[in-house]
């Protein structure tokens, strides 16, 4: 492990970068700001290393960023209708930061905070970031303590292990918001890259505010169908109401009706680099987001980023599940443990 300075926040808080490299020269670089994945250098078919995640060169880039590049999201990823939920008969109100709703827990999310380093295991190429969130933080009840452990294996897999507990019933739905581009973060559109999602249903949204209707609908016969691999952009402009609502793909795909069972959720492929990414999780859903709202901006190494220059596979509970009967519940009971694992494994073909 190599540690170096990543500068500081405006109030003087010092930040660091942590770099890990495996026996295949695959390298992951993380920062304690947002427990964020900053770089992921993956071997391509020609032996060249490609950085396959979008990000910034400075902390201020991440502070000003509205796309959540690479960050850990908490306490609750995705959208909550009207930013409001009820636990044990009491109503809790969160920030309204996305149309009329709450997105990714609000303006002062875990992605904007400095996490503590709880431990480093250089033999395992592993680091644990920890964070404490007091009762009332972001509108949530309970003193919430969480950690995320990143591990880089010699099988070219990065593993994210989330753990949390609370002293009051609360919502726990952590995720990671990395944007992948298997041709390289600076290569432009991801629409020509292939994706397969191991999900036969999705949760349609009501309108452009992207709150699910509560239904679970088969993907078969619709542009939402990725049960067989296809280019991300093949159907992205289809005359289909769900796509029009959110400008392309930004939907939750149903992997299971329960959590805790590891399964393959996705496989992506870039023919130019030969890089294959397989994704696994024990979560019940995955939000596939095709980067429809990435604004024109400058990323790492002066790269020009724009619309659909990266895609996200955010493992999580279904959106607004705290308010939706029939969806698996993200309620974390006081004294119980939240424990979930997602991983991304890379190879070439």
Omega of the bond leading into 129 within 30 degrees of 0 (cis) = no
Confirm whether 177 is a catalytic residue: yes
Contact status, residue 343 vs residue 160, Cβ threshold 8 Å: yes
Cα 43 from Cα 274, distance rounded (Å) = 9
Given the residues 104, 157, 163, 177, the one annotated as active site: 177
Structure tokens at 218: 């088969």
Structure tokens at 6: 């990543």
Cα 6 from Cα 182, distance rounded (Å) = 25
**b/e string for 53-88 if b means 16 or more Cβ within 10 A?**
bbbbbebeebeebebbbbbbbbbbbbbbbbbbbebe
Residues across the chain = 349
Q: Strand 230-231 to strand 297-298: parallel, antiparallel, or no bridges (unpaired)?
A: unpaired
Closest CA to 220 of 202, 196, 248, 200: 200
Closest CA to 247 of 255, 256, 238, 234: 238
Phi, psi of 298 (to 5 degrees): -105, 125
Rg (CA), the chain: 19
CA 44 to chain centre: 23
Closest CA to 94 of 142, 144, 141, 138: 138
Which residues are catalytically annotated?
177, 314
């Amino acid at each position: 492990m190599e540690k170096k300075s990543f500068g500081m926040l405006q109030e003087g808080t010092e930040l660091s970068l942590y770099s890990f490299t495996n026996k295949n020269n695959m390298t992951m670089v993380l920062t304690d700001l947002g427990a964020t994945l900053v770089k992921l250098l993956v071997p391509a078919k020609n032996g060249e290393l490609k950085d396959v995640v979008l990000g910034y060169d400075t902390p201020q880039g991440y502070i000003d960023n509205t796309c959540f590049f690479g960050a850990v999201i908490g306490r609750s990823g995705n959208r909550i209708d009207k930013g409001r939920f009820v636990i044990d008969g009491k109503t809790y109100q969160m920030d309204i930061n996305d149309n009329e709703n709450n997105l990714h827990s609000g303006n002062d999310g875990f992605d904007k905070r400095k996490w503590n380093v709880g431990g480093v295991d250089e033999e395992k190429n592993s680091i644990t970031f920890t964070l404490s969130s007091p009762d009332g933080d972001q509108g949530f009840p309970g003193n919430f303590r969480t950690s995320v452990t990143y591990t880089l294996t010699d099988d070219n897999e990065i593993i994210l292990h989330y753990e949390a507990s609370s002293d009051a019933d609360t919502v726990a739905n952590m995720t990671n918001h990395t944007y992948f581009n298997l041709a390289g973060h600076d290569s432009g559109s991801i629409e020509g890259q292939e994706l397969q999602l191991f999900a036969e249903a999705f949760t349609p949204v009501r309108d452009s505010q992207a709150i699910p209707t509560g239904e679970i609908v088969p993907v078969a016969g619709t542009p939402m169908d990725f049960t067989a691999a296809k280019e991300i952009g093949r159907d992205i402009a289809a005359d289909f109401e769900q796509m029009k609502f959110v400008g392309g793909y930004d939907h939750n795909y149903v992997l299971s009706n329960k959590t805790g069972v590891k399964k393959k959720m996705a496989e992506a492929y870039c023919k130019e680099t030969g890089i294959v990414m397989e994704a696994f999780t024990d979560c019940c859903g995955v939000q596939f987001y095709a980067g429809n709202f990435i604004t024109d901006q400058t990323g790492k190494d002066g790269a020009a980023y724009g619309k659909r220059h990266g895609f996200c596979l955010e493992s999580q509970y279904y959106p607004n599940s705290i308010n939706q009967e029939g969806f698996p519940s993200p309620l974390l009971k006081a004294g119980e443990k939240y424990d979930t694992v997602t991983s991304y494994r890379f190879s070439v073909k």
